[in-house]
Chains A and B, each alone.
Chain A
């Protein structure tokens, strides 16, 4: 009994972890299902049909392609804009700092449905058509703040002595930035970029306000399918995304722990 009591917190943590991961296990299991009828709710028969034919459901790979394209462009743009802001906040004192902080915080404190709908009213008034461009504008907007937070956290931990040393050794400001500051800030920038990509790739609520029938992203495809009956291919793509995320995050962890070991 005392053993149980001693490890109570470990059990609680494990239970929560199970709660968080059960849906991913279900998604993986059901990607091998051959469903009876159109709803993939009951496990009927084992099949690798969906894995060998991932584009088998109509429109699914087109939507996946659009989401990947939007995700890459939006996360790159947001990473550039956000990193610049993070450096300004982390490295300079200037007037308007608290206003800037507020402007960065606000998009994170606004429900998505408000951001999506307000952007729709702007586009209506300016006559901007809904579609891919509108989606990109929206995604860059809501990703910037998250990149700023991720990069700022990293910039704040950098030792200014390293830059001073570079300057003492005769590096000009440009060389110092490119050879010292940027490589040191890279993990934060990479984390911000990844976060931006995942937010963009996964967004349904904001995208739905700015999409047109010819610009169906993957989350919109899944949403539409949830009413008609979800094709097994959706579960295949969900599983692949989960595995890819595991690999990417693990590689990131490995690189950062190796770096830390080298530094220490």
Chain B
């Protein structure tokens, strides 16, 4: 046993030293404990694109003698509901649970702090920005699996056409370049739509947390903040109103789809896939889908750029967009075998498994895996494959911003997004809609004991 442990430690050390070379195989971790006879239960996110991880589990079972039982496979939001109910009733009898940086704050009373189970070296492999986002009051509650963040996706044909560029110059007196600011996006998206170059100028998910998040992103990129330091709602400031008015204007002018408010991620992606959208923010996770010539007309016809900076109304506080999140693993406080659960997490977040997942297009959260995938992509057929990864590494490293880490994020979102929808659809003015949302939010936060 000791020898095996020593060997693994040695290999790990070698790997981390020589990671840049990346010639050697990525290594598993968490196999250094005898777990014979133990059944580890896991509740996790499901779906075809997560297969690789479940395949790897048999390696873990063989090496440790443990049996891994998947007790739930759900999409993120269903899992969130399940966890809430299970935690509240003490029914969370599993050792590993799905977690997400956007949700972790509400679970913390029911999760096991993990910092004592992981060595500093083990934690050093992960992106510090994500671990920061997962550390609440000094306790680390999750180990990240993979991250996602949104770059600008734009249709190349619109930016490579001299006639369109000349027309744009005539109309606006400016060069047509890939946008870097929200104001440029506004100008170009409107131009493309008004002149019939593109059916739609922009798209965004228009309901639930997806809409709240996209607003939050435009708002903080424009220098705003949803809440002030006393957790008073602050999104109805002039920045918030400007962002909401921008969206409402897009809706009434047909820059965004007429059914925006019923779109979730798959709906917005469908529009871009059909080559109907000029510019948009979209998660990196969609890349393989968009590049699939069988399913998407936009395949081969789009480029990526770093997230936009917000409206200039924010002055110096303007920053790049980068609403981000990371899927992750946690151990419930009620886990029957927490140590075994930790071992499974170490394995599932190991360089090898993370690397195999990254090959599917997920953005890694480990620096060693970043090195590997970028090296792998250096001779890819499509240069965008590598550019994408380099861009993503910059964004995850520098622009990564989670929603406010409050347990009330989803209740807040449920209050907020219908009001924003009403603004977008023109039912109320931006100021009135956001004021109403702020008043309700304040009441909810007061009930939760913030003031």
On whether the two chains bind one another, the answer is no
Which residues of A come within 8 Å of B, CB atoms?
A: none
